[in-house]
Amino acid sequence: MVRIKRAIISVYDKAGVEEFARELIALGFEIVSSGGTARHMRGRGLTVTDVEELTGFPEMLDGRVKTLHPHVHAGILARRDKPQHLEQLIKMKVAEVDVVAVNLYPFQEVCLRPGAAEEEVIENIDVGGPAMVRSAAKNYQSVAVATSPDHYPLIVDELKKHGEVSPATKRLLAKRAFELCSRYDAAIAEYLREGRAAGARLAPDIPLQLERRLVLRYGENPHQEAGLYAEAGRPLPFEQVHGKEISYNNILDMAAAWELAAEFKRPSCAIVKHTNPCGCASAGGLLRAYQLACQGELPPAPASRFGGIIGLNQPLDQATAAEIIAPGSFYEVIVAPEFEPGVAEMFAGRKGWGQNVRLVRAKADLWREAHRLRSAAGGVLVQTVDDRGADPTKLDFVAGGRPDQAMLDDLLFGFTVVKHVKSNAIVVARGLQAVGIGAGQMNRLASVRLALAQAGDRARGAALASDGFLPFPDNVDEAARAGIKAIIQPGGSVKDAEVFKRAGELGVAMVLTGIRHFRH
């Protein structure tokens, strides 16, 4: 008696399933299915056996129970190399299953949907699907398990060539199946974790289930391998629309540029090099914001921005694009929420770097991070995102009186930019333009001097922002000599009184935010 080959197909994602079923039927398989999958295939003229015909038990509880039955799982789990297993199947009239194709309810997608009700999220926890996947993966010596439409051609090709799926391929598919179940369970546990409902931002444990989305040419240096991994089920918050392959360093700088530009409501441009801004400005229009950002450094320009990354908080228009590609400029990446029609063609038509520059669309609605993770000391450091800014209604004016509104705007602008500069960080701001930036110095005075040197005469009448407190009055002395009229800083030094007194003596307004913005 010739044994009938059987495949159980029960999928939420119907992509490719009709073609897969047709190929299996042509190869002599009986297709067993349930619910929506069976209706989908019958509607396309395919012959399908209902799961309840296999089990002798109808679906119940609104479809919550349909494949959780011995006639399903015994047929999947029976070892073909054990005669007693096969004898039991015959005795219980259970059909062997050779292929299982299952993909799961979209729990993660629903969970991430803004405003998703808890009832909807819970109903998208798949039970029967993962059970079949685990059964098939456990018995991979006998059963091929497909958990993605990408697996269908692999199974069909091997069945056509060899009459069976090879042991190596079945083992690989089993590995993929258990990885899927692991990610799925971790996402559910994260949703239900203790403290989530109460608003706790750091859990006792954070399961990391990451999928590789991009294979990068190399890491920070050519001898380092690298890839971009993202949380399973979560789409990347950006899309490249033009240019050559994006690199590890490009992604780091692109994220830094976008996150700074996105801080502002006015049309704004940030130019970043090695994750530090070398130019930033807000203006009445995007073109002017770009021009001012380019003038962040004194001549000879463009020393730092050459080869940098541009972040824009508004769609890139043709007029600004024309200015960007003007002779003498060179950028690696431009990230913006959108690119107006014709802009990509403008870069493609420019010989040299314009054809290679990466144009990246930032998906602002997806660019949400709850935590920052960094590997260190054999572990992972986790912190919440620095999403606080200075509250204009809670500033403390401790010396020199209250600045006028234009100066307050510059102070707040500078304090926003300094949040994105590596500590010790100083920003000199004037007219909503960063005219001097001191980054990554081992002492704050060195950062002050660096920022003032970049600003030159533009420091006269300007604002100075510091990411941390000013430890000594010498910082104020240096700023006052350069013509700085107001300083914004967190406060909190043991020498605050001396610092405030010195500012008052020198006629420099001193404004405290109570917020520190160290960035290491």
Q: Of 274, 371, 495, 501, which residue is the catalytic one?
A: 274
Q: Give me the sheet containing 5-11, strands edge to edge.
A: 49-50, 29-33, 5-11, 99-103, 144-146
Question: 239-362, what's its fold?
Answer: Cytidine Deaminase; domain 2 (3.40.140)
Per-residue pLDDT of 275-306, as tens digits, reads 999 999 999 999 999 999 999 887 665 678 88
Residue 138 annotated to the active site: yes
**pLDDT at 479 > cutoff 80:** yes
As given in the structure block, the two tokens for residue 121 are 């999220």
As given in the structure block, the two tokens for residue 366 are 């997806």
How many whole angstroms separate alpha carbon 353 and alpha carbon 330? 7
> Are 292 and 283 within 8 A, CB to CB?
yes
Q: Where are the domains of the chain?
A: 5-192, 239-362, 392-512
Let me know how long the chain is. Answer: 520
Q: Which of 30-34, 52-56, 347-351 has the lowest mean pLDDT?
A: 52-56
Confidence of residue 53 (pLDDT cuts 50, 70, 90): low
For residue 274, indicate whether it is catalytic. Answer: yes
3-state class of 79 per DSSP?
coil
Q: Name the active-site residue from 14, 138, 244, 501.
A: 138
Residue 115: pLDDT over 60? yes
In CATH, the number for domain 392-512 is 3.40.140.20
For the chain, helix (H) and strand (E) counts, in that order, are: 19, 21
- pTM, two decimals, is 0.74
Structural class in CATH, domain 5-192: alpha beta
Domains 5-192 and 392-512 share a fold: no
